[in-house]
Protein backbone atom coordinates (compact mmCIF):
# COMPACT_ATOMS: atom_id res chain seq x y z
CA UNK A 1 0.00 0.00 0.00
CA UNK A 2 1.05 3.59 -0.50
CA UNK A 3 0.43 6.25 2.15
CA UNK A 4 -2.94 7.33 0.78
CA UNK A 5 -4.25 3.78 0.57
CA UNK A 6 -2.94 3.02 4.07
CA UNK A 7 -4.40 6.11 5.76
CA UNK A 8 -7.76 5.95 4.05
CA UNK A 9 -8.16 2.26 4.87
CA UNK A 10 -7.47 3.05 8.52
CA UNK A 11 -9.97 5.92 8.52
CA UNK A 12 -12.53 3.52 7.03
CA UNK A 13 -11.93 1.13 9.96
CA UNK A 14 -10.27 -1.42 7.76
CA UNK A 15 -6.93 -3.05 8.46
CA UNK A 16 -4.24 -1.70 6.11
CA UNK A 17 -0.83 -3.33 5.64
CA UNK A 18 0.36 -1.55 8.77
CA UNK A 19 -0.82 1.19 11.11
CA UNK A 20 -0.24 4.61 9.51
CA UNK A 21 1.88 7.21 11.24
CA UNK A 22 1.71 11.00 11.51
CA UNK A 23 3.70 13.70 13.27
CA UNK A 24 5.66 16.89 12.66
CA UNK A 25 9.09 17.90 13.87
CA UNK A 26 9.99 21.24 15.41
CA UNK A 27 12.97 22.90 13.70
CA UNK A 28 14.83 22.75 17.02
CA UNK A 29 14.32 18.98 17.24
CA UNK A 30 15.35 18.53 13.62
CA UNK A 31 18.53 20.48 14.39
CA UNK A 32 19.20 18.16 17.36
CA UNK A 33 18.75 15.13 15.13
CA UNK A 34 21.03 16.42 12.39
CA UNK A 35 23.71 17.37 14.92
CA UNK A 36 23.63 13.77 16.16
CA UNK A 37 23.77 12.47 12.57
CA UNK A 38 26.33 14.73 10.86
CA UNK A 39 26.52 12.49 7.79
CA UNK A 40 22.77 12.81 7.13
CA UNK A 41 22.36 16.46 6.17
CA UNK A 42 20.19 15.58 3.18
CA UNK A 43 17.82 13.28 5.14
CA UNK A 44 14.17 14.31 5.14
CA UNK A 45 12.83 13.37 8.58
CA UNK A 46 9.32 12.77 7.25
CA UNK A 47 10.67 10.18 4.84
CA UNK A 48 13.13 8.75 7.37
CA UNK A 49 10.40 8.10 9.95
CA UNK A 50 7.66 7.14 7.52
CA UNK A 51 5.22 9.99 8.05
CA UNK A 52 2.11 9.18 6.00
CA UNK A 53 0.09 12.43 6.10
CA UNK A 54 0.66 15.88 4.60
CA UNK A 55 -1.68 18.80 5.22
CA UNK A 56 -1.92 21.34 2.38
CA UNK A 57 -3.29 24.85 2.69
CA UNK A 58 -3.29 27.86 0.44
CA UNK A 59 -3.74 31.46 1.55
CA UNK A 60 -7.16 31.37 3.15
CA UNK A 61 -7.10 34.91 4.49
CA UNK A 62 -10.10 37.06 3.55
CA UNK A 63 -8.00 40.17 2.86
CA UNK A 64 -4.85 38.76 1.32
CA UNK A 65 -4.59 41.67 -1.13
CA UNK A 66 -4.73 44.21 1.69
CA UNK A 67 -1.86 42.81 3.74
CA UNK A 68 0.92 45.36 4.11
CA UNK A 69 3.58 46.82 6.37
CA UNK A 70 2.08 50.10 7.52
CA UNK A 71 5.01 51.68 9.35
CA UNK A 72 7.94 51.15 11.70
CA UNK A 73 8.10 52.50 15.23
CA UNK A 74 10.45 51.96 18.17
CA UNK A 75 12.04 48.85 16.69
CA UNK A 76 8.70 47.26 15.76
CA UNK A 77 6.92 46.81 12.46
CA UNK A 78 3.23 47.68 12.35
CA UNK A 79 1.62 45.31 9.87
CA UNK A 80 -1.85 44.59 8.60
CA UNK A 81 -2.23 40.91 7.77
CA UNK A 82 -4.67 39.05 5.56
CA UNK A 83 -7.14 38.69 8.43
CA UNK A 84 -7.47 42.46 8.65
CA UNK A 85 -5.57 42.50 11.95
CA UNK A 86 -3.10 45.23 12.69
CA UNK A 87 -0.19 43.71 14.62
CA UNK A 88 2.89 45.08 16.31
CA UNK A 89 5.73 42.72 15.42
CA UNK A 90 9.41 42.72 16.37
CA UNK A 91 11.45 41.34 13.44
CA UNK A 92 12.51 37.76 14.14
CA UNK A 93 10.09 37.29 17.03
CA UNK A 94 7.54 34.46 17.11
CA UNK A 95 4.70 36.28 18.87
CA UNK A 96 2.95 39.52 18.00
CA UNK A 97 0.69 42.04 19.68
CA UNK A 98 -2.68 42.52 17.97
CA UNK A 99 -3.57 46.21 18.23
CA UNK A 100 -6.55 46.46 15.87
CA UNK A 101 -9.15 44.16 14.32
CA UNK A 102 -10.97 43.66 11.04
CA UNK A 103 -14.30 44.28 12.80
CA UNK A 104 -15.11 47.63 14.35
CA UNK A 105 -16.81 48.09 17.72
CA UNK A 106 -20.29 47.83 16.18
CA UNK A 107 -19.48 44.47 14.60
CA UNK A 108 -19.05 45.76 11.04
CA UNK A 109 -16.13 44.83 8.78
CA UNK A 110 -13.72 47.70 8.17
CA UNK A 111 -12.36 46.55 4.83
CA UNK A 112 -15.49 45.48 2.97
CA UNK A 113 -16.09 42.25 1.09
CA UNK A 114 -13.63 39.39 1.33
CA UNK A 115 -11.22 38.68 -1.52
CA UNK A 116 -12.42 36.02 -3.95
CA UNK A 117 -11.68 32.42 -2.91
CA UNK A 118 -10.49 31.41 -6.39
CA UNK A 119 -7.62 33.90 -6.72
CA UNK A 120 -4.81 31.83 -8.28
CA UNK A 121 -2.17 33.44 -6.07
CA UNK A 122 -3.77 31.81 -3.03
CA UNK A 123 -2.64 28.40 -4.22
CA UNK A 124 0.39 29.01 -6.43
CA UNK A 125 2.90 27.91 -3.81
CA UNK A 126 1.50 24.37 -3.69
CA UNK A 127 0.27 23.99 -7.27
CA UNK A 128 3.78 23.27 -8.53
CA UNK A 129 4.61 20.60 -5.94
CA UNK A 130 1.25 18.91 -5.38
CA UNK A 131 1.87 15.99 -7.72
CA UNK A 132 5.10 15.18 -5.88
CA UNK A 133 3.42 15.45 -2.47
CA UNK A 134 0.66 13.09 -3.56
CA UNK A 135 3.25 10.53 -4.60
CA UNK A 136 4.82 10.61 -1.12
CA UNK A 137 1.93 11.22 1.28
CA UNK A 138 -1.75 10.98 1.92
CA UNK A 139 -2.49 14.66 1.25
CA UNK A 140 -5.46 16.43 2.78
CA UNK A 141 -6.63 19.97 2.18
CA UNK A 142 -6.82 22.22 5.22
CA UNK A 143 -8.82 25.23 6.28
CA UNK A 144 -9.10 27.00 9.56
CA UNK A 145 -12.33 26.79 11.49
CA UNK A 146 -15.05 29.35 12.19
CA UNK A 147 -14.09 29.87 15.83
CA UNK A 148 -10.38 30.57 15.60
CA UNK A 149 -10.50 32.34 12.25
CA UNK A 150 -13.35 34.59 13.38
CA UNK A 151 -11.48 35.67 16.48
CA UNK A 152 -8.49 36.48 14.30
CA UNK A 153 -10.77 39.17 12.85
CA UNK A 154 -12.71 40.21 15.96
CA UNK A 155 -10.11 39.65 18.66
CA UNK A 156 -10.44 36.60 20.89
CA UNK A 157 -12.01 38.35 23.89
CA UNK A 158 -14.46 40.20 21.67
CA UNK A 159 -15.73 37.00 20.06
CA UNK A 160 -16.07 35.15 23.36
CA UNK A 161 -17.91 38.17 24.79
CA UNK A 162 -20.28 38.18 21.84
CA UNK A 163 -20.85 34.44 22.20
CA UNK A 164 -22.00 35.08 25.76
CA UNK A 165 -23.82 38.39 25.38
CA UNK A 166 -24.72 39.00 21.73
CA UNK A 167 -25.36 35.57 20.28
CA UNK A 168 -27.01 36.84 17.11
CA UNK A 169 -23.92 38.87 16.22
CA UNK A 170 -21.59 35.98 17.07
CA UNK A 171 -23.62 33.59 14.90
CA UNK A 172 -23.50 36.05 12.02
CA UNK A 173 -19.74 36.51 12.33
CA UNK A 174 -18.82 32.83 12.55
CA UNK A 175 -21.16 31.93 9.69
CA UNK A 176 -19.62 34.61 7.49
CA UNK A 177 -16.23 33.08 8.24
CA UNK A 178 -17.53 29.58 7.55
CA UNK A 179 -18.84 30.56 4.12
CA UNK A 180 -15.46 32.02 3.16
CA UNK A 181 -13.43 29.10 4.51
CA UNK A 182 -15.71 26.53 2.90
CA UNK A 183 -15.24 28.20 -0.48
CA UNK A 184 -11.47 28.04 0.01
CA UNK A 185 -11.66 24.37 0.96
CA UNK A 186 -13.83 23.44 -1.99
CA UNK A 187 -11.43 25.23 -4.33
CA UNK A 188 -8.48 23.31 -2.84
CA UNK A 189 -10.31 20.03 -3.33
CA UNK A 190 -10.96 20.95 -6.95
CA UNK A 191 -7.61 22.31 -8.06
CA UNK A 192 -5.53 19.71 -6.18
CA UNK A 193 -7.93 16.80 -6.81
CA UNK A 194 -8.09 15.76 -3.17
CA UNK A 195 -11.62 14.35 -3.23
CA UNK A 196 -10.40 10.84 -2.36
CA UNK A 197 -8.91 12.11 0.89
CA UNK A 198 -10.70 15.23 2.11
CA UNK A 199 -10.26 18.25 4.37
CA UNK A 200 -9.02 18.93 7.89
CA UNK A 201 -10.60 21.85 9.77
CA UNK A 202 -8.14 23.40 12.23
CA UNK A 203 -10.19 25.12 14.92
CA UNK A 204 -8.23 25.22 18.19
CA UNK A 205 -10.86 25.82 20.86
CA UNK A 206 -9.81 24.14 24.09
CA UNK A 207 -7.44 24.41 27.01
CA UNK A 208 -6.00 21.40 28.81
CA UNK A 209 -9.06 20.97 31.01
CA UNK A 210 -12.05 22.04 28.91
CA UNK A 211 -13.18 23.84 25.76
CA UNK A 212 -13.27 27.63 25.88
CA UNK A 213 -17.08 27.53 25.79
CA UNK A 214 -19.81 25.19 26.93
CA UNK A 215 -21.33 22.46 24.75
CA UNK A 216 -24.59 24.45 24.80
CA UNK A 217 -22.86 27.54 23.47
CA UNK A 218 -21.07 25.45 20.86
CA UNK A 219 -24.38 24.02 19.70
CA UNK A 220 -26.06 27.42 19.58
CA UNK A 221 -23.28 29.47 17.99
CA UNK A 222 -20.73 27.27 16.24
CA UNK A 223 -22.55 24.08 15.24
CA UNK A 224 -24.36 25.71 12.29
CA UNK A 225 -21.02 27.01 10.98
CA UNK A 226 -19.17 23.71 11.49
CA UNK A 227 -22.09 21.85 9.94
CA UNK A 228 -22.12 24.16 6.95
CA UNK A 229 -18.43 23.49 6.30
CA UNK A 230 -18.72 19.71 6.72
CA UNK A 231 -21.72 19.61 4.38
CA UNK A 232 -19.97 21.82 1.80
CA UNK A 233 -16.91 19.59 1.72
CA UNK A 234 -18.81 16.34 1.55
CA UNK A 235 -21.23 17.64 -1.07
CA UNK A 236 -18.19 18.67 -3.12
CA UNK A 237 -16.97 15.06 -2.91
CA UNK A 238 -14.54 15.00 0.03
CA UNK A 239 -14.34 11.52 1.47
CA UNK A 240 -13.35 12.56 5.01
CA UNK A 241 -13.57 15.68 7.15
CA UNK A 242 -11.32 15.73 10.21
CA UNK A 243 -11.47 18.13 13.18
CA UNK A 244 -8.14 19.31 14.55
CA UNK A 245 -8.05 21.03 17.92
CA UNK A 246 -5.52 21.01 20.69
CA UNK A 247 -6.75 20.56 24.25
CA UNK A 248 -9.67 18.69 25.77
CA UNK A 249 -12.46 18.67 23.19
CA UNK A 250 -14.02 15.61 24.83
CA UNK A 251 -17.26 17.42 25.84
CA UNK A 252 -17.86 18.28 22.16
CA UNK A 253 -17.21 14.90 20.54
CA UNK A 254 -20.84 13.81 20.41
CA UNK A 255 -21.68 17.08 18.65
CA UNK A 256 -18.84 16.60 16.16
CA UNK A 257 -20.07 13.11 15.31
CA UNK A 258 -23.62 14.41 14.83
CA UNK A 259 -22.29 17.11 12.47
CA UNK A 260 -20.54 14.51 10.31
CA UNK A 261 -16.89 14.76 11.31
CA UNK A 262 -15.09 11.49 10.60
CA UNK A 263 -12.17 11.82 12.99
CA UNK A 264 -10.19 14.00 15.36
CA UNK A 265 -6.57 15.06 15.75
CA UNK A 266 -4.23 15.24 17.70
CA UNK A 267 -6.12 13.44 20.54
CA UNK A 268 -4.05 14.98 23.31
CA UNK A 269 -3.43 12.51 26.13
CA UNK A 270 -2.30 15.26 28.51
CA UNK A 271 -5.73 16.88 28.04
CA UNK A 272 -7.57 13.73 29.10
CA UNK A 273 -8.20 12.27 25.65
CA UNK A 274 -7.20 8.61 25.93
CA UNK A 275 -7.44 6.71 22.63
CA UNK A 276 -8.29 3.42 24.32
CA UNK A 277 -11.15 4.96 26.29
CA UNK A 278 -12.40 6.87 23.23
CA UNK A 279 -12.40 3.70 21.15
CA UNK A 280 -14.43 1.90 23.82
CA UNK A 281 -16.93 4.76 23.92
CA UNK A 282 -17.29 5.59 20.24
CA UNK A 283 -16.34 2.41 18.40
CA UNK A 284 -16.21 2.99 14.66
CA UNK A 285 -17.97 6.36 14.84
CA UNK A 286 -14.75 8.33 15.25
CA UNK A 287 -11.30 7.76 13.76
CA UNK A 288 -8.34 8.83 15.89
CA UNK A 289 -5.20 10.50 14.51
CA UNK A 290 -2.51 11.03 17.13
CA UNK A 291 -2.72 9.81 20.71
CA UNK A 292 0.93 9.81 21.81
CA UNK A 293 1.56 12.12 24.76
CA UNK A 294 4.14 14.67 23.63
CA UNK A 295 3.34 16.80 26.67
CA UNK A 296 3.72 14.32 29.53
CA UNK A 297 5.01 10.83 28.86
CA UNK A 298 7.36 11.39 25.92
CA UNK A 299 9.33 14.22 27.57
CA UNK A 300 9.38 12.76 31.10
CA UNK A 301 8.67 9.05 31.02
CA UNK A 302 11.26 6.35 31.57
CA UNK A 303 11.79 3.77 28.79
CA UNK A 304 9.30 1.31 30.30
CA UNK A 305 6.61 3.99 30.54
CA UNK A 306 7.26 5.20 27.01
CA UNK A 307 7.08 1.70 25.54
CA UNK A 308 3.92 0.87 27.51
CA UNK A 309 2.26 4.10 26.39
CA UNK A 310 3.11 3.48 22.73
CA UNK A 311 1.73 -0.06 22.79
CA UNK A 312 -1.40 1.02 24.64
CA UNK A 313 -2.18 3.74 22.11
CA UNK A 314 -1.59 1.31 19.26
CA UNK A 315 -4.07 -1.11 20.84
CA UNK A 316 -6.86 1.37 20.12
CA UNK A 317 -6.38 0.57 16.43
CA UNK A 318 -6.67 -3.20 16.49
CA UNK A 319 -9.65 -3.02 14.13
CA UNK A 320 -8.43 0.00 12.20
CA UNK A 321 -9.62 3.54 12.82
CA UNK A 322 -6.22 4.68 14.12
CA UNK A 323 -3.31 6.69 12.75
CA UNK A 324 -0.65 6.69 15.46
CA UNK A 325 1.12 9.96 16.04
CA UNK A 326 1.70 13.07 18.07
CA UNK A 327 0.81 16.71 17.79
CA UNK A 328 4.51 17.43 17.19
CA UNK A 329 8.00 16.51 18.37
CA UNK A 330 9.84 19.28 20.20
CA UNK A 331 13.29 19.58 21.76
CA UNK A 332 12.00 18.41 25.16
CA UNK A 333 11.72 14.89 23.69
CA UNK A 334 15.09 13.17 23.60
CA UNK A 335 16.44 11.43 20.54
CA UNK A 336 16.66 8.18 22.52
CA UNK A 337 13.01 8.39 23.55
CA UNK A 338 11.94 9.01 19.98
CA UNK A 339 13.97 6.09 18.71
CA UNK A 340 12.36 3.84 21.33
CA UNK A 341 8.90 4.90 20.21
CA UNK A 342 9.74 4.29 16.58
CA UNK A 343 11.31 0.90 17.29
CA UNK A 344 8.25 -0.16 19.30
CA UNK A 345 5.92 1.05 16.57
CA UNK A 346 7.88 -0.63 13.79
CA UNK A 347 8.01 -3.92 15.67
CA UNK A 348 4.24 -4.10 16.16
CA UNK A 349 2.66 -1.99 13.40
CA UNK A 350 1.84 -4.75 10.87
CA UNK A 351 -1.75 -5.97 10.67
CA UNK A 352 -3.13 -7.98 12.26
CA UNK A 353 -1.45 -6.20 15.17
CA UNK A 354 0.77 -8.57 17.08
CA UNK A 355 0.80 -6.75 20.39
CA UNK A 356 2.19 -8.29 23.58
CA UNK A 357 -0.29 -9.92 26.00
CA UNK A 358 -2.22 -7.36 28.00
CA UNK A 359 -2.54 -4.81 25.20
Structural domain boundaries in the chain: 3-62+107-348
Contact indicator for 143, 201 with CB cutoff of 8 Å? yes
Task: Kindly report the pTM of this predicted structure.
Answer: 0.96
State percent of the chain over pLDDT 70: 100
Angle CA 94–127–8, to nearest 5: 85
| Whether the predicted pLDDT of 45 surpasses 90 | yes
Segment 149-173, tens digit of pLDDT: 999 999 999 999 999 999 999 999 9
Q: Span 330-355, mean pLDDT? A: 97
Residue 118 pLDDT exceeds 90:
yes
Read off the pLDDT of each residue in 103-121 and give the average, rounded to a whole number.
95
Task: State the pLDDT at residue 94.
Answer: 84
What is the rounded average pLDDT for all residues in the chain? 97
pLDDT given for residue 268 in this prediction: 96
pLDDT grade for 76, boundaries at 50, 70 and 90: very high
**Class in CATH terms, 3-62+107-348:** alpha beta
The average pLDDT across 326-349 equals 97
- Average pLDDT of span 40-54: 95
Give the pLDDT score at 41. 87
pLDDT of residue 93: 87
Bridging pattern class, strands 263-265 and 97-100: unpaired
Residue 117: pLDDT band (50, 70, 90) is very high
Q: In the prediction, which pLDDT does 336 show? A: 97
Q: Average pLDDT in the 265-277 region?
A: 97
Inter-residue contact 237 to 259 (CB < 8 Å): no
pLDDT of residue 298: 96
Which band of pLDDT confidence, cut at 50, 70 and 90, is reported for residue 116?
Answer: very high
Q: What is the pLDDT of residue 92?
A: 86
Indicate the length of the chain as a whole number. Answer: 359
* pLDDT of 91 higher than 90: no
At 286-302, the pLDDT tens digits run 999 999 999 999 999 99
Residue 350: is its pLDDT beyond 90? yes
Amino acid sequence: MNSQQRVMAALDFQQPDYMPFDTSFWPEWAEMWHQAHPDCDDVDLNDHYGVDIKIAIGDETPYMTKAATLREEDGYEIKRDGWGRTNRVRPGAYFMHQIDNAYDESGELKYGEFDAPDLPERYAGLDAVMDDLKQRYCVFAKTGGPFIRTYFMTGEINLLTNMAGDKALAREQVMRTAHHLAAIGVEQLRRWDLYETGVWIFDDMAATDLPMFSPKTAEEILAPAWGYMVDAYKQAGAKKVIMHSDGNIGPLLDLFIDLGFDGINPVEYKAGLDCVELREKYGDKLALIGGLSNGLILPRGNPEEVRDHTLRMMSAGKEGGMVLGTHSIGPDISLDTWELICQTYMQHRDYPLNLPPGY
